[in-house]
Structure 1
Amino acid sequence: MTSARIKGHGIAGGLFVLLFLALLAVRLDVFPGALLPGSGPAASSAGPSRADEDRWMAVYQNGRKIGYSHRRMQRVPRGYRFEESGLLRINTMGVVQDIRMKTTGDLNPDGTLSAFRFDLQSSLFRFVLRGEVRGRQAIVYQGPPSAEKQIRIALREAPHLSNSLYEALRGRALATGQEMTLNVFDPASMAERPVRVKVLERETIQIMGRPHAARKVAVDFMGARQVAWLGEDGGVLREQGLLGMTVEQVTKDRALDGLTLAASTDLTDAASIPSRVRLDAPEALAQMTVRLANVRPESLSLDGGRQRYEQGRLTVVREAMPAARTTRDALPAEMRPFLQATPFIQSDHPEIRARAARIVSLGDSDAVKARKLVDWVYRNVEKRPVLSVPNALETLTHRVGDCNEHAVLLAALARAAGIPAQIEAGLVYLKGRFYYHAWNVLYVDGWVTADATMGQMPADVTHIRLVRGEADRQIDLAGIIGDIRLEIVDTKK
């Protein structure tokens, strides 16, 4: 099979971009989200005290402005109308792109959420999510009109739409050292996630040229740590977090001014991990051992399959590709879930099924089918960074994307062709650094790694799996970005 390393870091690192967007969106509340439990003092403050607010925020990375957000709350006859829009100019893999996000929400008179819509638009891709709340259930619709999927999600309590995670702190007497856990709804993974908040000391900070008394709080979202300063009204004055990111309240003119075309820090480079050992031909290696530090093994998928993890040392052994067989054993029952369609892996869509049928032949063994599918995605999807939530159907339509798009499309095509498929996410070596990356495993008489971005099956041993699964598992990587340490200790050919 064709095998190629990507020029520079190319589109390796795309996984980090997806994680970054999810984290930033949750922090700015550009996802319709933070569906917070509607109880206690915070719930009552979501009513009249939240009306007629108009707030502009500027977003900086290492002191350079990269975007803004604008949020408004207005009274309407049936309750309240919430709107938030934002623009981010992000440098990913050497390409500067704009991404626009907008959230609208209809709130009941008591502040509980009635309906919402989220729209993310990048250069090629558009991600739309809308939903409504009926009792203790959120009914979420995702995808283009021709392939819209409905997902029903049970809620613990009547949810509120917060203008930030800190909305739940409004009205509470906050004591220094106090800790609490809030649940937010992440629409990308369709799951609730815990956010831990710790109240720190009071400080006076300069905002828009004037001193403001503020309460400092520390936030831990899936291990990603942030610090925020809340004003007397409970609103966010400033927030600092991931990779030099700062969000700060400003005037409208300041928010809209000063966004240049100059490239900011490349996010994928900033998140990558340098290697002291340089590998000239990674694809020729049969085995690699690394030492990992600053990871929580219990929350990751480090051990199993071609990987062996013990006491901080991880060894990856390249698999042997199964021989092509004309007959196929019955699939184990536990493989059936990996043949099913999901909201982002639309393997049951007619266009996906038709494309898979044109790529493979009826007489092909599973091994031959898998090779054909990997090669087709490798050759037919242009390798370019994409700022969106990846899904297979749009990738098949546009034929462009980074590692995320390659992985969801290959998973969908494989499942449509009868081959169980999953997505793995972790790190891959490229020219002296390890980048966050996504690839697949296909069940061909056993799980075999496949990287359609690089045209590899099996994938080379520098592919280090950290998690296996879709967005609901990949978001678990948020807590190790910037902290994980990796050192190559041995390689074998």
Structure 2
Amino acid sequence: MRETTDARPSAFRLRPATVILSVVCLAAAAPHTEASHLMNGPQDEWHRLQILDHHVGWLHTVAERSVYEGAPAWRVRAEFVMRLLRSGTPIELHRVRVVHFGVETPFAPYAFMMTSNESGEERRVEGRVSEGSMRMTTHIGGRSREHEVELPAGTLFEEAVGYYVHERLADIGNTHSTHVFNGDMLLPMLDAITIDRVEAVELPRGDTVQATVVEHALDWMDGVRMTEWYDASGQLVATEMDALGVPMRVLRTSREDATGMGEASDLDVILATKLTVQGPSPTDPTHFTARARLSEGDIAAALLPTQRQEVGGDDGGWVQLDVRRDAPPAAPAPFPPPPSAHDSLLTPTVYVEADDAAIVAQAREITGQAENSWQAVDSISRWVYAYIRDKTLDKGFATARQTLDSRIGDCTEHTMLAVALTRAAGIPARILAGVVWQRDAFYYHFWYEAFVGEWVAMDPTLGQGPADARRIQLSGGALESDTALEFGEGILRTLNRLELVTRE
């Protein structure tokens, strides 16, 4: 990204930026000022992030006038830090996003760059608008991948929406819909905006301000909703988002308050999102039944019917779940397998590097004695379980090759390495997301399935092949794009909203 900056400032905000931490999706926001404030000096503002009423991080935003490839532009840099616990293990998520958008062509997106550390190493995504498309390159683990998406006319960067709202929709009752490029999904999303009312908001330092309430409805997962409050000068006061089952709030504050949270918050996202059941603990690894519902949302859209998981009936919002463990196939496909209708699931991705030379060589070594595809898959799953020696939770989202090198990880790392090795061996495989029973509750989890003449579920994290029946597969479990958020859509639909009643 080529850029120069000068001392003439602007001020905008970063809209909630969704961040995946394996089992939880979190959001943050940053400031905006009205047009009359744009030339008063560089904006430098701090916001405090709260989740479930815990102070977990901060957002620092600097906005200023700039030039991008010879054209006047606004430049916004937003730095996001979140500190959490995962089963007692501290984890820090750090992300920086820089965007440029138009001055003479108001709000028109030009380019962005984002870096993040969820894989344990830097992940960098660079994008620029050309001929109506966002053309992007993702760099991670020494590899790069190019991709692009078409942008509908009038698409805005998230960082430009606050300015757009203040300029175009200032009066109570105004509504408008526009596409917004989401920097985490790397896709444009339709945002239905309503200027709703005026009310008082209390800030962390104890002061209360009168603020205009702006409601947003994003066209994603049945409509994710977000509320923002702006003071009379156009400054963002607060943002709230509760559509993912986890109450999140961002509040304007001082630098000292925003960053004054110590080395880690006391919020443990694993324990905060575990799913306890009504009824007896499931004990049969071959068969599991339960009634399920969502306290909010469509249960049918959240649960995925498969050959091993039946979802039936609708009794006042409750559905019946019946899950059975796969049996090892009686007539598995030969190895190497013949072409199948599922060969699109042999494709390498940024996170699942099935074409990496080291992964290909390791897959060949593991499966060298396999007589059929089932033996090859079973050998890979067992090898991954034994190979990853440090079953730690301090990684956010490492790639398969990073895990092959480090031998460190939790369920995401076990699963991505196993899928990469399976694909490298020529066997179609795909990632699954859901919840799995462990000791006292269901916990959010990832595993995979491989096509060996039929689909068989494997869990290399727990050393299970085929995978235990005491799990529920959720919709949206995939990782075929360059964004980790796609991986957990089913989890996001159910987070803190799924209810289960088990049977004997």
**Aligned Cα RMSD in Å?**
3.2
Task: Give the Cα–Cα distance (whole angstroms) in 2 for the partners of residues 247 and 415 of structure 1.
Answer: 42
For 2:349, the equivalent position in structure 1 comes to 342
For residue 271 of structure 1, the aligned residue among 270, 273, 289 is 273
Structure having the higher helix fraction is 1
Q: State the AA in 2 paired with 1:228.
A: E
1:151 aligns with 2:181: no
Alignment-derived partner of residue 316 in structure 2: none
Matched-pair contact (CA < 8 Å) for 2:30–2:47 = no
- What letter is aligned with 1:28? A
Range that drifts further, 187-196 or 316-325 = 187-196
Residue 44 of structure 2 aligns to a residue whose secondary structure is strand
Q: How far is 1:171 from its partner?
A: 2.1
Aligned-pair distance for 1:216? 2.2
CA–CA distance in structure 2, aligned partners of residues 173 and 440 of structure 1: 47
Identical aligned residues as a percent = 21
Other-structure match for 2:478: 469
Q: Distance in 1 between matches of 2:195 and 2:23?
A: 26
Q: Cα offset for 1:130?
A: 1.5
Contact 2:337 2:427 in 1 (8 A): no
TM-aligned CA distance change 1:266 to 1:366, over 3 Å: same
Number of residues of Structure 1 aligned to a counterpart in Structure 2: 459
Q: Which residue in 2 is equivalent to 1:140?
A: 136
- Cα distance in 1 for partners of 2:156, 2:179 equals 11
- Map of 2:302 onto structure 1: 300
Report the counterpart of residue 6 of structure 1 in structure 2.
none
Aligned counterparts of 1:46 and 1:487: Cα–Cα separation in 2? 57
Aligned residue for 2:289? Answer: 288
Please give the alpha-carbon distance, in whole angstroms, between the structure 2 residues aligned to 1:482 and 1:198.
27
Q: Distance in 2 between matches of 1:267 and 1:442?
A: 30
Map of 2:228 onto structure 1:
228
Structure 1 residues 152-161 or 438-447, which shifts more? 152-161
Give yes or no for the alignment of 1:481 onto 2:478: no
Runs of 4+ residues deviating >6 angstroms: 44-47
Corresponding residue of 2:75 = 81
- Residue in structure 2 matched with residue 402 of structure 1 by the alignment: 410
Cα distance change on mapping 1:472 and 1:65 into 2, 3 Å? closer
Residues 318/196 of structure 1: CA separation in 2 closer, same or farther (3 Å cut):
farther
| Residue among 343, 354, 366 paired with 2:361 | 354
| Matched residue, 2:55 | 65
Q: Specify which of 231, 239, 246 is matched with residue 249 of structure 2.
A: 246
Check if 1:201 corresponds to 2:191.
no
Residues 387-422 of structure 1 show CA distances to partners (whole Å, capped at 9, x for unaligned) of: 534432222222222212222221111111111001
- What is the Cα deviation at residue 219 of structure 1? 4.1
Given candidates 370, 374, 379, the residue that maps to 1:372 is: 379
Matches of residues 59-208 of structure 1 in structure 2 within 5 Å?
Answer: 59-78=49-68, 79-109=73-103, 110=105, 111-121=107-117, 124-144=120-140, 146-157=142-153, 159-163=155-159, 166-173=162-169, 181-207=177-203, 208=205
What runs of 5+ residues in structure 2 fail to find an aligned partner?
1-18, 314-318, 480-484
Cα distance change on mapping 1:63 and 1:233 into 2, 3 Å: same
TM-score, length-scaled by structure 1 = 0.83
Q: Residue 168 of structure 2: SS of its match in structure 1?
A: coil
Structure 2: which amino acid aligns with 1:455?
A: G
d(CA) in 2 for partners of 1:364, 1:199: 65
Distance 1:305 1:390, change over 3 A: farther
Q: 2:434, 2:446 within 8 Å by CA — same for their partners in 1?
A: yes
Deviations 1:26-54 (A, max 9, x none): x4379xxxxxxxxxxx9x97995798332
1:214 aligned residue = 211
**1:234-261 deviations in whole A, cap 9, x for unaligned?**
44211233434321011223323x2123
**So what's the TM-score if we normalise by structure 2?**
0.81
Contact 1:115 1:132 in 2 (8 A): yes
1:273 alignment partner, SS class: coil
